Amino acid sequence: MDADLGNYRRSYEKNELLLKDTPENPMELFQKWFFEVDKFFPETETNAMTLSTIGLDGYPKGRVVLLKKYTYEGFIFFTNYNSEKGQAIVNNPNVCISFFWHGAERQVIIKGKAKKIADNLSDGYFESRPRGSQLGALVSNQSEIVASRDVLEKELAALEKEYEGKEIPRPDFWGGLIVEPIEMEFWQGRPNRLHDRIRYTLNSEYNWIKNRLSP
């Protein structure tokens, strides 16, 4: 197999990102970009982000997960704590999350540390999920080998019967993680590959320092 992709090119010309126009706190810029993408590019799953961890085997691994909440403190998503990514985070909480919004020709790259959120916050979100998603969390031993899909379907059917008319409890192995950022980079595509890159770095006094990076 030999696939030459050298001619895959496009010119990025939709917007600009100037240092003088950026706020002091990167979360404010993230919120502005998020709202703009969500409004003007409805076909985009705006909260889809790539989470990269260092696995127990020493290799980095990225996968797409869904952002469910963000605050000035960080970015929250939910997962099975016993999953491959969950165990990787226990072993090494240094992670990277990134958003690529191709319609807006923008990406945001965030380095930070991940940790569990409070149980009551995980309980609240779990209760808000559709029953099918709640039962799915109980059924799936995420990242473990399973004999067949039929096994999962049968376990789901059994749980549907068991919890018919009952409240479904959040399992202890499932809940939220927050990524607390120490660095956030905003990338805006520009013509001639002279892209705008603004990086915010958190210093030892917990102030954000911002700089323009060469593309």
The catalytic residue positions are: 193
105: left (phi over 0), alpha (psi -120 to 50) or beta: left
Residue pair 36/15 in contact (Cβ under 8 Å)? The answer is no
Across 91-110, b (16+ Cβ under 10 Å) vs e yields eebebbbbbebeebbbbbbb
The size of the chain, in residues, is 215
Question: How far is the C-alpha of 202 from the C-alpha of 118, rounded, in Å?
Answer: 24
Instruction: Assign 76 to helix, strand or coil.
Output: strand
**By CB neighbour count within 10 A (0-12 exposed, 13-18 middle, 19+ buried), where does 135 fall?**
buried
Strand extents, DSSP E, 88-204 = 94-101, 106-116, 174-188, 196-202
